[in-house]
Amino acid sequence: MNLRWLLTCIPIGIALHYFEASPTLVFIVSALSVVPLAGLMGNATEALSRFLGPTPGALLNATMGNAPEIIIGFFALKHGLVEMVKASITGTILGNLLFGLGVSIVAGGLKRPAEKIVFEIDTARIYAGLMMLATIALIIPAVFNFSTNSDREISLHIAAILFVGYLISVGLVLTQGNAGNLNVASEDSEATGADWSRNLALAVLGGATLGLAAMSEIMTDAIAPAARSMGFTPLFAGIFLLALVGNTAELINSVHFARSNQISLSLGITVGSSAQTALMVVPLLVFFGAAIGQNMNLLFSRFELVAIVLTVYAVINILQAGSVRIGAGLFLILVYVMFGIGFYYASAGLGS
């Protein structure tokens, strides 16, 4: 699905921001503009990987895959939206593992209702192991009664360990000759930029990154008042608004691959992206928060931790057989909806 027509939202969003229009309208328009920009970044990265070779190209794809979430998170931290950024991390994990994977399984199942959906069990186990590591890391700061300063220190230490875990996981994949597992290729060469020249790919990547930075600045400036006007708490806004913006392009790709009977690629986008969020995005946001004086720690609310633990447990149990049916996807979507209801009615101070 080509969503490049949404690029028209960029000048509209800038104009609305300049003329101080309704924060809700500014947020919606700027959020829509982020979707095609994130897609263009992915297309340009894939095109560049063709010139770099399989191993460096796979590393570039793995690193840049979560660039939209990182950029949006940086600007949200710049605006002091620490709790909303932490909520968006929870939202990314829940959204990818429950809604993203669930919709992909349903899409694949509807295409072939009489067949089981089969995927690479070894790849699924790798992703499951990484998610377990990340879950344990997110639980540790919450189960001990640390002082405020200790919370900040332990978050930095755990973030460093998580980032080392990310580097190790990428290194293992690359050295074991499975570099292709880090890439997500598409059949539509024009849409993915597979036929772009190197200079064109660099230009698109640079332009999309600058555009994403500009629109992220506008979007994160508007999200807090927009959430208040819509009656959402910062927790709900982070989990179901901010997280959704950075992952829409990935969701569309995941559904496309599932319908093309490439469920392993859908796993790479949904489950693999969640693992990358926990192992790469979270540490970078913690480091950036410390650099600019924002207390970006890993002390999540009890409800968020319970949601993450239950989600990882449910997904691991579904994937351990190496095949699924459409009912499993419906189950994941229903769990996501139930969490949504819970977070909607949760108080703004839920937590810690």
pLDDT at 289: 92
pLDDT at 190: 42
Which residues are CB-contacts of 138 (< 8 A; sequence separation ≥ 6)? 278, 298, 300, 305, 308
Stretch (H or E) spanning 266 = helix 263-276
Contact (CB, 8 A) for 107 and 255: yes
- In DSSP terms, 340 is beta-bridged to none
pLDDT at 347: 61
pLDDT at 180: 46
Which residues are CB-contacts of 293 (< 8 A; sequence separation ≥ 6)? none
pLDDT at 149: 56
Distance spanning both ends of the chain, measured CA to CA? 41
Q: Note the pTM of the prediction, 2 decimals.
A: 0.84
- Least Cα distance to 61 among 45, 76, 37 occurs for 45
Query: What would the pLDDT profile of 293-335 be if each residue is shown by its tens digit?
Result: 898 888 888 889 899 999 998 888 887 777 788 888 899 999 9
pLDDT at 193: 55
Beta strands in 160-235 (DSSP E): none
Residues spanned by the domain of 231: 4-345
Query: What would the pLDDT profile of 10-52 be if each residue is shown by its tens digit?
Result: 999 999 998 889 999 999 999 999 888 888 887 888 788 777 7
Let me know how many helices (H) and strands (E) the chain has, helices first.
16, 2
Task: For residue 244, give the DSSP letter.
Answer: H
Tokens at 115, concatenated: 């067949």
Tokens at 27, concatenated: 């947020």
Which residues are CB-contacts of 249 (< 8 A; sequence separation ≥ 6)? 3, 35, 36, 38, 39, 42, 68
Instruction: Look at the block and give the residue holding tokens 């629109």.
Output: 215
Domain membership flag for residue 352: no
pLDDT at 14: 93
Domain membership flag for residue 69: yes
Domain membership flag for residue 91: yes
Helices (H), 65-100: 67-78, 82-94
Instruction: Look at the block and give the residue holding tokens 């499993």.
Output: 328
Instruction: Look at the block and give the residue holding tokens 């703004």.
Output: 348
Residues in the chain predicted with pLDDT less than 50, given as ranges, are 179-191, 349, 351-352
**Amino acid (one-letter) located at 284:** L
Half-sphere exposure of 90 (CA within 13 A, CB side): 32
Work out whether the CA dihedral 168, 174, 177, 182 comes out positive or negative.
positive
Our count of domains for the chain comes to: 1
Domain membership flag for residue 94: yes
pLDDT at 288: 93
Domain membership flag for residue 324: yes
From the number of C-beta atoms within 10 Å of its C-beta (0-12, 13-18, 19+), residue 136 rates as exposed
- Rounded to 5°, angle at Cα 332 from 35 and 169: 65
Q: How far apart are CA 87 and CA 242, in angstroms?
A: 9
Domain membership flag for residue 351: no
Cα torsion 336, 1, 243, 181 to 10°: value is 90
Domain membership flag for residue 67: yes
Contact (CB, 8 A) for 296 and 135: no
Domain membership flag for residue 26: yes
Domain harbouring 29, CATH code: 1.20.1420.30
pLDDT at 58: 58
pLDDT at 352: 46
